[in-house]
Amino acid sequence: MVYVKNVHNNATKLTFKLVSTSLKLQLKKKEIMKILKILTAIVFAAQINTAISANEIKMGKADWDTGYFQAEIYKKALEKMGYKVTGPTVMKPQVFYVAAASGDMDLWVNGWFGNHDTYVSEAKGKVKPVGYVAKSGGLQGYLIDKKTADKFGIKSIMDIKKHSKEFDANGDGKADMVACHPGWGCEKIISKHFEELGLGDFINPIKADYGAAMADIISRYKNGKSILFYTWTPNWTVGTLKLGKDIVWIEAPYSATKIVSVPNATKAKLNMGFGVNDIRPAANVDFLKANPKVEKFLKKASIPLEDIATQNLKMNKGEKSDKAIKKHAEEWIKANQSTFDSWIK
């Protein structure tokens, strides 16, 4: 009886194990099917998102307002082509190129080459310039008021050393010069000038907000004070202070740049210390490969320098809100409709 009982118990245990195993397998199958359904849904959603994002463009724009007009015109062209454009988001150059290299941004149209050559090199083939907003459009350098230049015979930034007190606004004995925002390409070049030419011995570079610093410079000039500043063209600064009349370019004998002919300068030929830059779009390389229509458009589009300068002057006169800049872009497109349409065919 004991033997029979044991056999019965063992049989019961075995049956229980078999049932339990069967239930576990069924549960596992259900769990597996559930997981597969979830994965299928995720893949399907990803495919939908990819299809949607393929028609989206993440656009940046520079943190200097003289580039906003161009960005708005290009944005409207891309939207006309059927793209949904996010932004353009205001960014410092080094931030844009890092973001573009990682795919977090797709493009912007505010590249200054060669100032930005280093940024593209650091992107290691993931970002490239394409097309030209304004070829050879970026002239840059140092200027002083013409009255002081004529009075003391100042031709070069090196001559400031003898007359630094004329440009000293805070009483520290050094000439105060409006320079560049930290993070701008020109900041690196100005730093090289200070290192090679020893400018730090007699010049104090002001790296505050450029617009605010230039407003102070203009105020100083109107009050009869001597002024020294860095600028670029196209820019409203040379619309407010007239080249050749109020201000003149001065030389910066930097070894990496060449002597060129420049109007409204203290010399007929001089070394500006900066190379002439091309204003160009720059974009993520993979994005361009996936969107050949965009690359074709970027290669065709451009905006005349005089039109950019005219718009920049409007901003300096107070028309600088987002709404105003969009209006300027719309007015330019309407006035140049056939050109605009030819870009996006």
79 and 112 in a single domain? The answer is: yes
pLDDT at 76: 98
* Coil/strand/helix, residue 228: strand
pLDDT of residue 262: 87
Residues 46, 74: one domain?
no
Same domain, 186 and 96: no
Per DSSP, what are the bridge partners of residue 263? none
At 212-237, the pLDDT tens digits run 999 999 999 999 999 999 998 888 88
Which range, 19-28, 199-208, 270-279, is most confident?
199-208
**pLDDT computed for residue 324 by the predictor:** 96
Distance CA 160, CA 266 (A): 13
Residues 6+ apart with CB under 8 A from 286: 103, 126
Whether residue 92 is found in the same domain as residue 44 = no
Contacts of 184 (CB under 8 A, 6+ apart): 64, 92, 93, 115
- If asked whether residues 49 and 74 sit together in one domain, one would say no
Beta pairing class for 269-271 and 259-261: antiparallel
Burial (CB count <10 Å: 0-12, 13-18, 19+), residue 319: middle
- Candidates 259, 261, 263, 258; CA nearest to 247 is 263
Q: Answer with the residue of higher pLDDT: 2 or 253.
A: 253
CA distance from start to end of the chain: 97
Which residues does residue 178 pair with via DSSP β-bridges, in sequence order? 206, 229
Write down which residue in 31, 53, 75 finishes a domain: 53
Cβ–Cβ < 8 Å for 109, 226: no
Q: How many domains are there within the chain?
A: 3
Contact at 8 Å (CB) between 190 and 158?
no
Among residues 241, 271, 301, which one ends one of the domains?
271
Q: What is the pLDDT of residues 108-117, one digit of tens each?
A: 999 999 889 9
Q: How far apart are CA 285 and CA 141, in angstroms?
A: 32
- For the chain, give the mean pLDDT: 86
Q: What is the 3-state secondary structure (H, E, C) of 272-326?
A: CCCCCEEEEEEEEHHHHHHCHHHHHHHHHCCCCHHHHHHHHHHHHCCCCCHHHHH
Residues 6+ apart with CB under 8 A from 64: 110, 181, 184, 210
CATH label of the domain that carries residue 91? 3.40.190.10
Which three-class secondary structure state does DSSP give residue 255? Answer: coil
pTM for the predicted model, two decimal places? 0.69
In this structure, are 108 and 3 located in the same domain? no
Q: What is the 3-state secondary structure (H, E, C) of 74-139?
A: HHHHHHHCCCEEEEEEEECHHHHHHHHHHCCCCEEEEEEECCCHHHHHHCCCCEEECCCCEEEEEE
* CA distance linking residue 96 with residue 113, whole number of Å: 14
Tell me the pLDDT tens digit for each residue of 99-157.
Answer: 999 999 999 999 999 889 999 999 999 999 999 999 878 889 999 999 999 999 999 99
DSSP-derived letter for residue 173 is: S
- Are 209 and 120 found together in one domain? no
Confidence of residue 301 (pLDDT cuts 50, 70, 90): very high
Q: What is the pLDDT of residue 233?
A: 86
> What Rg value do the Cα atoms of the chain yield, rounded?
31
CATH number (domain holding residue 239) = 3.40.190.100
One domain for residues 243 and 187: yes
Q: What is the pLDDT of residue 234?
A: 82
Q: Answer yes or no: do 129 and 108 share one domain.
A: yes
- The CB density around residue 222, as the number of other CB atoms within 10 Å, is 9
The pLDDT of residue 280: 96
Same domain, 148 and 129: no
**What mean pLDDT comes out for the span 52-65?**
84
CB 72 within 8 A of CB 25: no
Residue 127 bridge partners (DSSP)? 284
Note whether 161 and 238 are same-domain residues: yes
Round to whole Å and give the CA distance between 183 and 92.
6
| Contact (Cβ atoms closer than 8 angstroms) between residue 271 and residue 251 | yes
Alpha carbons 234 and 260: distance in angstroms, whole number? 18
78: containing domain: 59-136+279-343
Residue at which a domain ends, from 53, 78, 93: 53
Query: Are 240 and 301 in a shared domain?
Result: no
